[in-house]
Amino acid sequence: MKTHAEAMERKSESLAQLKNCLERSNIAILTDYRGATNGLTVKQITELRNKLRKANGEFVVVKNTLTKKAAKELGFEGLDSFLEGPTAIAFGYDDPAAVTKTVLDFSNDNKATSLPAVKGAFMEGKVVTNAELKAIADLPSREQLIGQILGLMLSSHRNLLGIMNAEGRQMATVIDAYRQKLEKEGPAKTEAPAAPAEAPAAEAAPAEEAAPAPAAEA
C-alpha cells in the first residue's frame, strides 16, 4: 500500500511533467476520449499515440485538477472550462497543423463514436476555438511549406541559369560567325612597306683654287 508521502511525490512528478509538456508544446488540444459510450479502446489510443509521435506530438490522459494547477502556475488562462469530465491532451511540439490534422482525422475516421471529441485548444498562450482549429488543420504541413519554398528558390535559379546559358550561346554564335567570315576572306593582304626616302646628296666640296702658273723665264 502506498504511503501518503509516496502519493504526494508521484503527484509532484506528474505536475512537473504536465508543466513541462505545456511549456514545450506550441499547441495543446484538450479532448474527451470516453464520450457517452465506453470510449476509445487501448488499441485505438495506442494507434493515435503512434500517429502523433510521427508528427512530434503525444497523447496524454490527464487529471483535471492537476492540469488546472499546472496551467495556473504557468499563467495559462482559459483552460478551466475545458477541464471537465475525462480529459486527454494532444501536445504538439513541432508542427501545429500536423498534430491538429492527426487528431481531427482520427476522430472523423472513428465514425462509431467520433472520439476523441475536441473540447478546445490552447496555442501560443491563447485559447483556440474549434473553428480556428479546423482552419489550422487545413494549413499545409511544415514539410509541404519547405518543399514549396525550395521549389520557388530552385525555379528562380533555373531561370537565371537559362538566361546565363542563352547569353553564352548567343556570344558563341557571334564569335563563330566572325570566325567563318575571316576564313572566307582569307588572310589579309599586307602592302609592301614603302622604300625609305633617299637621303639628299651631299653637296660637292668646292674645287681647290688652281695654283698660279709659274712666270716664264726671261
Predicted confidence (pLDDT) per residue in 183-216, tens digit: 777 655 545 455 555 545 444 444 444 445 444 4
Q: What is the DSSP letter of 95?
A: -
140-163 exposure pattern, b = at least 16 Cβ within 10 A, e = fewer = eeeeeeeeeeeeeeeeeeeeeeee
Domain containing residue 31: CATH number = 3.30.70.1730
For all residues of the chain together, what is the average pLDDT? 79
- What does the pLDDT read at residue 208? 47
118 and 173 belong to one structural domain: no
Nearest to 57 by CA among 105, 16, 121, 102: 102
123 and 19 belong to one structural domain: yes
Choice between 10 and 127, residue whose per-residue pLDDT is larger: 127
Domain C-terminal end among 104, 139, 174? 139
Give the residue numbers spanning the domain of 44.
Answer: 14-139
Position 3 in a domain: no
Position 168 in a domain: yes
Q: Looking at the 3D structure of the chain, how many domains does it have?
A: 2
74 and 173 belong to one structural domain: no
Lowest-confidence range among 97-106, 124-133, 171-180?
171-180
d(CA 98, CA 28): 12
127 and 28 belong to one structural domain: yes
86 and 159 belong to one structural domain: no
Choice between 202 and 154, residue whose per-residue pLDDT is larger: 154
26 and 89 belong to one structural domain: yes
84 and 170 belong to one structural domain: no
Position 190 in a domain: no
CA angle 137–143–149, rounded 5-degree value? 110
Position 73 in a domain: yes
